[in-house]
């Protein structure tokens, strides 16, 4: 269950547990220099790298088939819905203009929105003790 929840957060930002678990997850996943802080720059760099990984054919868009392939490769459904069904819903959230592909801009904006939601003190950093938490 933990793996599918983490993947859903990674791919879509659709699932938001509590704020602390989001912060912990983001620090574990996106802290590139090991300082236990994720800067917006680190986060967006990671999103850029992830986009390239998901863009199997290298055409600068993630088509639905590419997304579903990558999504199902890295998830193990433990719910009544299959990974493909969950992936379909996640794809729908990311494909804002409904053209059956996710552009780099759509993907980056989705990631930035998630980062901003978690960065409550708007300091462009995710850390466990944001000033907004105090």
Structure tokens at 115: 């980062």
Is the pLDDT at 13 greater than 70? The verdict is: no
- In angstroms, what CA-CA distances link 132 with 17, 24, 105, 124? 18, 16, 29, 13
Burial class, 26, CB count within 10 angstroms (exposed 0-12 / middle 13-18 / buried 19+): buried
Name the band, by pLDDT with cuts 50, 70 and 90, for residue 16.
Answer: very low
Q: Is residue 31 part of a domain?
A: yes
Number of domains in the chain: 1
> What pTM, to 2 d.p., does this model score?
0.73
68-104 confidence digits (pLDDT tens): 999 888 776 566 678 888 889 999 999 999 999 999 9
Q: Is residue 134 part of a domain?
A: no
Burial class, 41, CB count within 10 angstroms (exposed 0-12 / middle 13-18 / buried 19+): exposed
Q: Is residue 30 part of a domain?
A: yes
121-131 confidence digits (pLDDT tens): 999 999 987 54
Domain holding 92, by residue range, is 2-128
Element spanning 102, H or E: strand 101-103
């Amino acid at each position: 269950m933990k793996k599918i929840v983490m993947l859903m957060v990674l791919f879509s930002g659709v699932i938001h547990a509590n704020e602390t678990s989001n912060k912990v997850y983001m620090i574990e996943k996106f802290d590139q220099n090991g300082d236990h802080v994720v800067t917006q720059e680190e986060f967006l760099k990671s999103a850029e790298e992830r986009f390239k990984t998901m863009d199997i054919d290298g055409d600068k868009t993630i088509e639905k088939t590419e997304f579903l392939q990558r999504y199902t490769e890295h998830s193990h459904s433990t719910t009544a819905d299959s990974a493909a069904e969950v992936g379909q819903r996640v794809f729908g959230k990311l494909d804002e203009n409904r053209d059956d592909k996710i552009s780099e801009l759509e993907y980056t904006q989705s990631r930035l929105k998630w980062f901003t939601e978690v960065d409550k003190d708007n300091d462009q950093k995710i850390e466990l003790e944001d000033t907004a938490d105090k």
